[in-house]
Each structure stands twice: as structure tokens, then as C-alpha cells.
Amino acid sequence: MKDANFLKANNARSLWHPMTAPSDSLKNPPAIITGGHGVRITDVDGHEVVDAVGGLWNVNLGYSCQPIKNAIAAQLDRLPYYSTFRGTSNDCVIELSEELRKFFEPDGLVRAFYTSGGSDSVETALRLSRQYHKIKGEPGRVKFLSLKKGYHGTHMGGASVNGNANFRTQYEPLLPGCYHIPAPFPYRNPFNESDPAKLAQLCLQALEDEIAFQGAATIAAFIMEPILGAGGVIPPHPSFMPGVEALCRKNGILLIADEVITAFGRTGAWTGSRLWGVRPDFTCTAKAITNAYFPFGAVMIGEGVAEVFENDTTGRAAIGHGYTYSGHPVGAAAALACLAETQRLNVKDNAAARGAELFAGLQALQTRHEAIGDVRGGYGLMLALEMVSDRASKKPADKAAPATVQSVAYKAGTMVRVSGPNIILSPPLVLTSGDVQVILASLDEGFSAL
Ligand SMILES: Cc1ncc(COP(=O)(O)O)c(C=O)c1O
């Protein structure tokens, strides 16, 4: 490894970072992370902090999960790669599919299709949902509905159902036939409705109206995150996703749960769909499926969809879709070890308990710091603080304010993530109460510096 001087001199010089302008990375050099242990990361200067970002919502078990590291190393020795395209498979992926089936059975999901990450999983679910209708003799069902403020990765299909202009405008034209309804976001919504239950009903009415307007027979699927993540951590009212499910069922529309963040315990339940009592047709997973140690994902497929594909007599059920790394044996070995550790440690319960402590602590911070306009959380370890320059008008904070909070909090011992006016927290699910206090104290310092 090159020394610190080399790394700092060349930081962002010959690479472009995702999700920012190349010039920004040169003006504001990224933190160079060189080590990770437990729930902490260390930078090139040896400064150690609690990682309240959890990598990118994905290092659920922290940086020291030895069983996953061992599984990866052993699999690299045994069989570092083989394809799962027609005609070949591998031992790990067969075993993993049985384990995932058991894990996702309460959600009604019985088959797996493997990918290299979340965007791939979304793309897969969108494509297979169109194919499902074609097999069933309804080729006109091609449109997709989704939520404004939703995030579904960056492939063309995913970007088209995304509900945030930042990921769309510069890449247009996107996929035709994608329509968005308002998110059930009590702090900001076009209905000016702050009651979460009433707002959920208004958003469901908007969905019903859009289905009628488009024509149910033209719509393939509705895709949503059970709790919106990258859009600023927006937990919908508990009535919302079941309401979406009912409208989908009534209209023959498939329901895709994008659980790239929420699967495997982050919300305090094993899946976001289970949290809301919903049984989706597809569930997109990635991220924590390997604790981020290997790029890997799985689309879980519902019983009804599986039946249509498996009992097809039309010849239209051949899957003309897949990735070179679908079912990668090293990824599958990592996922097997990760799933075992995730369940052995029962991380969903710790996510719920530490999430409640963190949420209460953030609400206490709000009473002391005017810049905190909204505190969102209450479901495990996905939380956000929305910063404003004026609480009464909810005017969003100037760009510099969240950056100041972030940099002071970092010096004080915690890495947090800034996304627009939001400070987003998604720490590892193996966090302790002591770690929660470190995060809160660091944020307190950050806000006190404004
Ligand atoms: C809900 C959701 N879907 C899809 C994705 C895309 O996943 P990836 O970045 O692994 O392609 C993300 C990434 O954060 C996500 O949060």
C-alpha cells in the first residue's frame, strides 16, 4: 500500500466518484478509509470513528464478521468462479437457495434469481414482471408505477421508476410508461396533510386514480421500498403498504418490494414486507445479503409468479435475462455464512432496541437545535434528520450546514451521511448502547457548531 502522502496527493485525481461532481471530489477530498473493525472505521490519518452509515446501509454485522471472511477465503480456494447460465450450477448457490427459501417463506417468496447488486435486482424484477404478464397472455401490461422520493438504483429501468430528479434529469429520456404517485411523507407532501394515516389514504386514492387513468390492463407492476431509504428515510403509515397490496391485487398488478436496504433485519423485522404484513410478488435484495463483503443480490420470487413461469406451456417463460456473476459461488458462500450469522445474532431485535434509543436521542437533540426540522425513524436502524434554515416555513438548510454538521461529527467520533438537507443514519445492526451515545454526542457537537 502506498503511503499517506501519495494517497492524499492523488485522492480523486484519476477516478470519478459516484453521486457527486468530479470537481466536487477535487475541492472536497473524500475521507480515505483504510481500516474497519467492529462498528468502527479508521482513516488514513489513523482517526477512528463509529460508522453510523454502516458502509452504505449494508455492513449490518460490522467489519469483523470472521465467518463470512472465512467462507469467502475458503471458497476462493475451492472454486473461485463458475457460471450458472443454462446447464451449470454450483454447490453453494443450490444450498443458499434452500436457505433463502426458508428465510423468505413467511413473505410467500419461494424462488431466487441471483444478481450482482441492488440495481441488478430491480432491473430483474421489472423485466420478469413484464414477462409474467406476457406468459399469462396479457402482453399489454407493460407500465410501471412507483413513488416519488423512492430510490431504485441507477440502471435505466430503476432510474425510470426512481422518484428523485437528481437521478433522472441528466439521463433522460428514460423508459416510457413509468408513472409516479406522491410519497406518504407527512413532513412535505402536495396535500399539505401532516396526519400520517390520513395522508396514507390520500396517497392510496392517488394510486387508485392513476391506475384508473392509465388503465389497469396496461400496468405490469408497482414498485416501492417498505420504508423509503435514500429519499430521506420515510416510514409510511402502517396502513399504506397493505393498501397498495390490496389495490395491486384488485387490478392484477404485481407488487415489487424493493428491500435492498430493508431485508435482513434493518427495520427491526426480518423484512420490511413482514413489518407491514404484506406478501409481495417479487422482493429485491442485495447489500446486507453478504454484509457487503461481496457484491451480490437476489430477487426473491412469489409463489404465484413461480407457478406461472414453471407451468408455462406457451414457450414464453424462457428467461432471457441474467448476469455473468448471477449465483457467483464466492458470493453465494458469503451469503450463506452471512445469513447464518444474521440469524444466530438475531440482529433484528438489536436493530429495534438500538433504533428506539437512537430515535429518542435524536428527538431530544431536536429540542435543543433549531436547525433540525424533522426527525424520522422509529423502525429499527434507519433514521434521518432533516435540516431547515427556518422551522416555521420548513425552508431547507443551506448546503453548507449539513456539511458542517458532518465534518464536526466526524472529528468528534462519528461518520454520518449527508444527502441534500438530510443527515442519514444507518449503522451496523450490531451497534451497542454505548455506540448510540457516541453517535448522539458527535451529532450534538456537530449541531452546536452551526
Ligand atoms: C432501495 C434500493 N434499491 C436499489 C438500490 C441500488 O443498489 P446498488 O447500489 O447495489 O445497485 C439501492 C441502493 O442504495 C437501494 O437503496
Share of the chain above pLDDT 90, in %: 99
Amino acid, res. 224: M
Confirm whether 31-61+346-448 and 68-344 share one CATH topology: no
How far does the centroid of ligand 1 lie from the alpha carbon of residue 119, in Å? Answer: 6
Q: What is the dihedral of CA 117, 122, 125, 128, to 10 degrees?
A: -90
pLDDT tens sequence across 90-120: 999 999 999 999 999 999 999 999 999 999 9
Domain ranges of the chain: 31-61+346-448, 68-344
Q: Is 141 exposed, middle or buried (0-12, 13-18, 19+ CB in 10 A)?
A: buried
Ligand 1: atom nearest CA of 153 is 6
Could you read off the pLDDT of 392-407 as tens digits, one per residue? 999 999 999 999 999 9
Dist. CA 160–CA 423, nearest whole Å: 25
Q: How far apart are CA 240 and CA 246, in angstroms?
A: 10
Q: Tell me if 157 CB under 6 Å of ligand 1.
A: no
Q: What is the DSSP letter of 169?
A: G
- Taking the model in full, what pTM does it have? 0.98
pLDDT at 132 over 90: yes
Alpha-carbon distances, residue 8 vs 11, 14, 28, 174, 411 (angstroms): 5, 12, 12, 38, 18
Q: What is the pLDDT of residues 145-175, one digit of tens each?
A: 999 999 999 999 999 999 999 999 999 999 9
Report the DSSP beta bridge partners of residue 41: 36, 49
How many other C-beta atoms can be found within 10 angstroms of the C-beta atom of residue 195?
Answer: 11
Topology of domain 31-61+346-448 in CATH is Aspartate Aminotransferase, domain 1 (3.90.1150)
Indicate if ligand 1 lies below 6 Å from the C-beta of 153. Answer: yes
Regarding the beta carbon of 150 and ligand 1, being less than 6 Å apart is answered: no
**What separation in Å is there between the alpha carbon of 400 and the centre of ligand 1?**
26
Ligand 1 atom at minimal distance to the Cα of residue 57 = 14
**DSSP letters for 34-97:** EEEETTEEEETT--EEEETTHHHHT-TT-S--HHHHHHHHHHHHH-S----STT---HHHHHHH
Q: Which residues contact 195 (CB under 8 A, 6 or more apart)?
A: 186
Distance, CA of 21 to CA of 8 (rounded, Å): 19
DSSP assignments along 200-225, one per residue? HHHHHHHHHHHHHHH-GGGEEEEEE-
Class of the CATH domain delimited by 68-344: alpha beta
Nearby residues of 419 by Cβ (< 8 Å), 6 or more positions away: 230, 232
Any residues with CB less than 8 A from the CB of 323 and at least 6 apart, and which? 114, 115, 116, 120
What are 231-258's pLDDT values in tens digits? Answer: 999 999 999 999 999 999 999 999 999 9
pLDDT at 1 over 90: no
Residues written for the chain: 450
Distance CA 93, CA 327 (A): 6
Going by their DSSP bridges, the two strands 282-285 and 178-181 should be labelled as unpaired
Of residues 42, 22, 45, 23, the one with CA closest to residue 34: 42
